[in-house]
Amino acid sequence: MTRWILHLDMDAFFASVEQLDNPQLAGKPVIVGGLGPRGVVATASYEARTFGVHSAMPMAKARRLCPHGVFLAPRFERYQQLSARIHSLVSQYSPLVEPVSLDEVFVDLTGTERLHGPPEQVAREIHSRIPEEVGLPCSVGLAPNKLLAKLASNAAKPGGLRVIRPEEVAGFLTPLPVEALWGIGPKTARKLASRGIYTVGDLQGVEASLLVSWFGPKLGEHLWRLARGLDDSPVVPLREAKSLSQELTLPEDVYRLEEIQAHLRGLTRQVWGRLRQAGLLARVVRVKLRWSDFSTHTRQLKLPEPTDHLGLLLEAARQLLARLLATREGRGVRLLGVGLAGLTPASFRPLHLFAPEEIDQLVWGAQAKYGPGALQLGEQGPHPPESPLPKRLQPSTKGEENHTGPAPN
């Protein structure tokens, strides 16, 4: 049976939400991100993109390119709220819904035809219902797997709907540049280009054995499959997720510490938004960093208790970044990622999450760094005298990855 996977991607999500909530901003260049001198752009509206502004750009540069733009700080709680509405709308069509980020979701429509009609019709319905009912523009891709569905929604941007039927896969893929494929980063693309391979069509013409001799068995076989649009990865609902992560490939290497930290905070807030939305707590925080020489390192830290406390996650991520940056040696940052693992349902929230001294210290630290609104304590009452002694955030002793070799992308 043909699988049918839908990929829904909201267009310029944070900026579109700001335009929705303040109609005076409609049609204007809206730029959402850190407003401080070291801030970075999280999302730019399509009006702002015509000035050359794009996400992950230093805010100072965005202001130079688009001096008449409307510059706003992100409101993650609001984005999370609308993301949850989008999630519940698409959940009407399938139990298999996987949010990839606050503004992107995969829906497995395989075998839902009897209940909801043909997948193409469902795709059209979702594509029109999101703007009608949520008030936000979106792009939709429908294809036989996740790889192709994401490529389809990308091709449909902004505001479009693109279906790739099984018989259309080859024709769709052939003209694309190899970089369009998941997992082909600049390094692999350069290696391919040095052998005269620029498009997916070129890549299809290379024997599997040759790819394996160039890239090793794992990446070689992966590239062979990618070139043919083969991907059998499942759509995994958030409640079954083993981990949540958010990554950002920077358009250019970033050297300034403040800018690296700003990206890290943005990523942490986004992954926290998904954690909260899923009703989960995380015990393990990971930070992944790829240097300008493409070596990739991951550090992780185990928290004393599972948590969904933003301030704690920000502090843990900050500590991990500091450890990674200790090995910097003048290199720039190419990619940053924040991951949460050791996930448990929030209903199992431990009674005494942290010792009071520890909370105070964290609140103080977070507020000093991120402003007075950074951390808000819930309805926690006074702690009993037998509260455990404050534990420091301990780096976990096991499972620490340290890839020193070059990464495939």
User: Active-site positions?
Assistant: 104
E strands along 29-171, which residues?
30-33, 41-44, 70-72, 97-101, 104-108, 138-143, 161-163
Considering only residues 5, 7, 8, 9, which one is a binding residue for Mg ion as defined by CB under 5 A?
A: 9
Residues 6 or more apart whose CB falls under 8 angstroms from that of 373 comprise none
Binding string, residues 100-119; x marks residues near Mg ion by CB under 5 A: ---x----------------
β-pairing, 30-33 vs 70-72, is parallel
Which of the ranges 9-17, 301-309, 314-322, 393-401 carries the binding residues for Mg ion, by CB under 5 A?
A: 9-17
193: tokens are 């280009």
Cβ burial 320-353 (10 Å sphere, 16+ → b, else e): bbeebeeeeeebebbbbbbbbbbbeeeeeeeeeb
Smallest distance, Mg ion to C-beta of residue 368, A: 33
- Measured from the CB atom, the residue of 136 and 285 that comes closer to Mg ion is 136
Smallest distance, Mg ion to C-beta of residue 51, A: 19
- Measured from the CB atom, the residue of 98 and 103 that comes closer to Mg ion is 103
* Residue 136: strand pairing partners: none
Smallest distance, Mg ion to C-beta of residue 137, A: 10
DSSP state, residue 181: S
Helix H or strand E segment including 338: strand 333-341
Smallest distance, Mg ion to C-beta of residue 153, A: 9
Binding string, residues 242-271; x marks residues near Mg ion by CB under 5 A: ------------------------------
Number of residues assigned to the chain: 409
Smallest distance, Mg ion to C-beta of residue 9, A: 4
The residues in 17-46 that bind Mg ion, with binding defined as CB under 5 A, are none
Smallest distance, Mg ion to C-beta of residue 241, A: 20
Which of the ranges 6-14, 120-128, 237-245, 351-359 carries the binding residues for Mg ion, by CB under 5 A?
A: 6-14
The residues in 310-369 that bind Mg ion, with binding defined as CB under 5 A, are none
- CB–CB of 53/45 below 8 Å? no
Which of the ranges 1-9, 20-28, 47-55, 291-299 carries the binding residues for Mg ion, by CB under 5 A?
A: 1-9
- Measured from the CB atom, the residue of 103 and 108 that comes closer to Mg ion is 103
- CB–CB of 387/276 below 8 Å? no
Q: Which amino acid is at 227?
A: A
Binding footprint of Mg ion, residue count (CB under 5 A): 3
- Measured from the CB atom, the residue of 103 and 231 that comes closer to Mg ion is 103
- Measured from the CB atom, the residue of 18 and 308 that comes closer to Mg ion is 18
Binding string, residues 74-103; x marks residues near Mg ion by CB under 5 A: -----------------------------x
Starting at the earlier edge strand, list the strands of the sheet with 138-143: 97-101, 104-108, 5-10, 138-143, 161-163
* Residue 104: strand pairing partners: 9, 101
- Measured from the CB atom, the residue of 153 and 307 that comes closer to Mg ion is 153
Residues 6 or more apart whose CB falls under 8 angstroms from that of 232 comprise 145
Q: Give the binding site for Mg ion (CB under 5 A).
A: 9-10, 103
